Amino acid sequence: MEPNVVSKARSDEAHDDNNGCSGVCAGGLGEESLAAQTEHHRDAEEVAHFESICESFRQHAIFSRRARTGHAARIAALPATHQSLLPLWMQQGSEENRHREVFMQEAEKRNQFFFDSLLRHAGKAISQEMLAEPERKWSSDDTMSKVSSVLKSLARDWSAEGVAEREQSYRPILDGFDRHVKVNKESDPPRILVPGAGVGRLAVELASRGYEVQGNEFSLHMLLASDFILNGGCTPQRPYAISPWLLETRNVLKASDPFRKILVPDIDPAAVMGFVTHGSENEDLSSPPEFSMAAGDFVSIYGSPNEASRWNGIASCFFLDTAPCVVEYLKVMFDMLKEGGVLINFGPLLFHWSGPPLRPDDISFEDYKSKHSHLDERYFKSIDMPYDGVREVLLQIGFEIVEEITDLPALYTADSRSMMGTEYQCVYFVARKPVPMCCV
């Protein structure tokens, strides 16, 4: 069975020098690769940005090894009397130290092999092909942290180890859609948007229930990873081994924890969504609902008048607090929903764009902005508010709240073996766009 998939381009006016990708879409199963679409778009700045993302994937192993070199240099700087007190695997020149280095190198090679496979799927040069570049530009620490985040997100979404986290965060949303947005095989499937889709598991789980699903993601790092998982032939029978916490040096319980293996994926996404058949005579030959991934800024795409009243549901998981202005997100969500459509949300209010506070010596807000001119403009637009404030905005916009639970514990890309973890006390709610009384 060929996948019945459409892709969606983002609004032409949307653009961001750090993360965005305008006019390009990461398609669903069977679609042309994101790399090819970017190059066909032929925007020089975007192509250069896309290449910088690919280059950061190529540099993972090198950055990992250099980090260990720095750690070894600090140990070497200790007085000999102190060095002698360290575990043997930390003492340079010991057999135990050499064995540990072998394990660490194997882990970084595992990760690099995954990223090289991802790049090859995207039609881009892999790490070994770029070693001889005479003037190589090294990625920033911030960019490399996003590479590490991809590995941790893959563990959360596509490994057996991530089951507990997915049950905490995805299960309430999935159950909410089962209750409030019914799938009727006699009519067109309901259309569901998953903003901030990351590497795609929640979107796949919704599609497996018969919904027409589109994931939306701003980060090209995440989009390339989801494209590879969805279209790169990754299955539990042919899994990739990764070491997501390889670069962690703090709050590590056991010396072997950073280089332990995690296998991805734990399911075959194509089979789960019905895009793979097995030749059974009794098999349902109807085409699965459409599935796609759209690249770009949420407001720029779905704030368009063309998206108004087109969606039956929005699955918002750890997404609302990524807004520079949560009021704008909620207004866009209300407008894009059909009458009777629902926003189902689960997550905290971390407010990613929360800026530094004003100081007594900041003469004015303009003076404050001038002092912090190196920051992204969105840090000056973020409005932090408690949940009861967000709730009031929901009601003022016109939503009616039909379900609401607070203080639900959830982790996010946590290392289950770490000595430290952040547990969020999340809010779950179902907010419906009312149906006019005349139409009831």
Q: What is the DSSP secondary-structure string of 95-122?
A: HHHHHHHHHHHHHHHHHHHHHHHHHHHT
Q: 102-106, 256-260, 287-291, 407-411 — which is least confidently predicted? A: 287-291
Q: Which of 58, 64, 74, 131 is nearest to 103 (CA)?
A: 64
pLDDT in tens, 183-228: 998 899 999 999 999 999 999 999 999 999 999 999 999 999 999 9
pLDDT of residue 4: 33
Burial 209-241 (b: 16+ CB within 10 A, else e): bbbbbbbbbbbbbbbbbbbbbbbbebeeeebbe
pTM of structure: 0.90
pLDDT in tens, 223-243: 999 999 999 888 999 999 999
d(CA 334, CA 203) in angstroms, rounded, equals 20
pLDDT of residue 39: 56
Residue in the block written with tokens 């793979």: 276
pLDDT of residue 23: 37
Distance of CA 48 to the CA centre of its chain: 22
Q: Which residue has the higher pLDDT, 20 or 35?
A: 35
Q: Which of 115, 99, 21 is nearest to 60 (CA)?
A: 115
pLDDT of residue 19: 38
> What's the chain's average pLDDT?
90
pLDDT surpassing 80 at residue 33 = no
pLDDT surpassing 60 at residue 283 = no
Q: Which residue has the higher pLDDT, 292 or 33?
A: 292
Give the pairing type, strands 191-195 and 212-217: parallel
Amino acid at 136: R
The mean per-residue pLDDT over the stretch 356-373 comes to: 93
pLDDT in tens, 379-435: 998 899 999 999 999 999 999 999 999 999 999 999 999 999 999 999 999 999 999
pLDDT surpassing 70 at residue 7 = no
pLDDT in tens, 126-158: 999 988 777 889 999 999 999 999 999 999 999
Q: Which residue has the higher pLDDT, 39 or 432?
A: 432
d(CA 276, CA 285) in angstroms, rounded, equals 11
pLDDT of residue 37: 61
The mean per-residue pLDDT over the stretch 90-104 comes to: 97
Q: Which residue has the higher pLDDT, 236 or 30?
A: 236
Structure confidence at residue 52 as a pLDDT band (50, 70, 90):
very high
Structure confidence at residue 34 as a pLDDT band (50, 70, 90):
low
pLDDT of residue 276: 58
pLDDT of residue 31: 58
The SS3 assignment for 414 reads: coil
pLDDT surpassing 80 at residue 14 = no
The mean per-residue pLDDT over the stretch 7-28 comes to: 39
Contact by Cβ (8 Å): 260, 92? no
Structure confidence at residue 331 as a pLDDT band (50, 70, 90):
very high
pLDDT of residue 249: 96
pLDDT in tens, 64-74: 999 999 999 99
